[in-house]
Structure 1
């Protein structure tokens, strides 16, 4: 028997349709006979593509016959496919629904679709012969939902927000793009960290950029950056600003430009588009200058002192005070970017030398005279005959006086040899075969062998340079040149006993 098609205008059907329209699910049963299919639907939004994804469910009404879906039509026209686990989906049309069974199929329609329908023509067979057929349709109302649109895959640079960290005393900062979307296209946002040296630990001018500002950008796959700058060892200001190095103000002067809300963490735009601590710092515990000193010992015992105020890292004058342990004192003011090489501490006033700024000794500002390696060493000459053994120490000009000790047998003579002068000691020839010349100021020791010629056949032969003993001190620069009977000896070893024949 063929039953009349149910009308949706009937009260119960109208109420059901209204509920389905609100929920996005519809079940339309319009059987033309006892054999029929029942169709329901749900819908989701694919934010990646902006499409509506409709899942249709078609139910076979018969519990003793399979239904074959011979024809399927949709509005809007789009493929309707049955998912198959582990394989490609198959078309809903031609699908067989088992007794009392159902099939689920998926249709994708544009995101602005207001209504979608599915119509199926099904046949029921017994022993290969058609016993019944029915055309049924289902409908889903999508108008109750907002239109489905693709979710944004990126964020415009002028709308992006960030978060940041900031450590002013260490000169470090990080900036990170918020959310999970990159900046659109080739958009980039620059950020810069800059440090200054300043006249006070609170905001004051003038301020001058210290070192090189660090600048980097966020864009593309680069979502986070780290910035680092050097911090002067003095009063300073550090700023984390919105923009590249072109935004850096140098110098910061009274009545001049300011960063204002360009500093990240500011209350206004653009700095307030990054969440985090205030991106600025003022501090430091001493005057912001860069004084330095170097020392150079001279052979005469004096010390040359060089004072510098590096203009690359300082814009303020520095007053130096140079003090010698033995009473020397002098104050010199050096402008930024300048140096003063005029100070020489005399040997008599030197001792320990200190260079002070603001009453504090500079780093590497303490020095004591050290003999330069290129200072000429004293020379020793010898002369021997059958009655006397004579030794002479000659001290070059431009040096310091040296103490010389001459020892032969049990006799010792001590002399102080002035710079540019010489001292001679003559010993009466005895049985000892050598004499010792010690220069304790230079930590040097020399042994001369007494071997005169033609003394009744007891003398030695020609000159020789035997060296005995081991070094008792460090090695000094120089050369050894020995000439017997008027020769000059240049000593190379500190506390090295050099034995020579006279």
Structure 2
């Protein structure tokens, strides 16, 4: 029986072709052109130094899970597009640069300043691990055109800068009175233009801003212009409260004095927020400080024999620019305030004797240098005198205090008896003792640290013959000349001589 042979080759070939065709269609469908793409944006600036427009192109990868690689870069105008990235030297081109997943890269293109329009075309591919030449990766081709001429042509680089447009930088050290000012950039001021700056210091009444203020020394002023692009300024600063200012302008801008409700520098101070001071970058160009007053308060003291003290006040030193209010205090509540104008002296305050034991002179609540004192007895004050009247029955002693002296306490001691008296100026006090066996009395002036011994030696008593002795004569002083004079009086009159001595006792007999 005849059985025809059936051939399966053709149906299998057809089936294979169908399978291959359907597979190819699936591959194409899985890689649509819109699934992988880049986005391009551009910004433009003008480089005033070179006169070129600078375009910054940004290329963004659309894929969050795949890294793209830029395979082709075409620019119009046809100038290089250089990669901008940390660690590069600015010479690598954008072509061949990988774009991170969902990331971006940037390139910079320089074009002539009169360019009106620029276009960048970028081709990118998304290579995956395991890709081969037989399996092409997804690719895209995108372009972007931007307009450049909306703000006019980019001007060429200037050769100088107008003084009205110039910027500066400065340094400033107020306590040291130093400053520098420098022209910013590499361009000098144009033509013969100059810009002056001045540094000035002041006397000030307080370490914070206060008026009035007076210029100290000579302000330092200089200019920038021509080949001079940096200056140094220095002024002397007073050794007291001060203000130092770095100002815009020459010495004709200096204000002297600075007074209440008067003109101020304001924004002329470099470093201020307003113009022109804000055209220089740097610290604030003003300083207030100093640790002592700009005055020279002084006091001298003079004790008088009557116990008072005259306090002389002065304000006439080299830095005395302000009035000084002194306060003179004494013990027992004494207080007197005196204002002394600058450059004045010999304003006197007399402290009464009852307050002169402890005196202080204060300014701003503090005792000034050498401002403490207490009364001291002047060496030329006349001493009290002691006279005696010795009879056979009594021994009388008298202390006399001269006018213009302090009241003085006198202790009279004879035998076992002591009498004390306080002798006022211009008066005398006496005591009389019954005659006894003691040969001398002791007279002490404790406040003056003086004492003397008075010998009781009347003549003509007890068979000595004679009767009452004439009164003794007063003798003052402790020097040898006084002793000699007393001896002469003794010989001439026959009276009893008494001499006082400090911290020692001198014994005389008639």
- Give me the TM-score of the superposition, normalised by structure 2: 0.45
Q: Which has the higher helix share?
A: 2
Who wins on radius of gyration, i.e. which is larger?
2
- Give me the TM-score of the superposition, normalised by structure 1: 0.46
Q: Which has the higher strand share?
A: 1
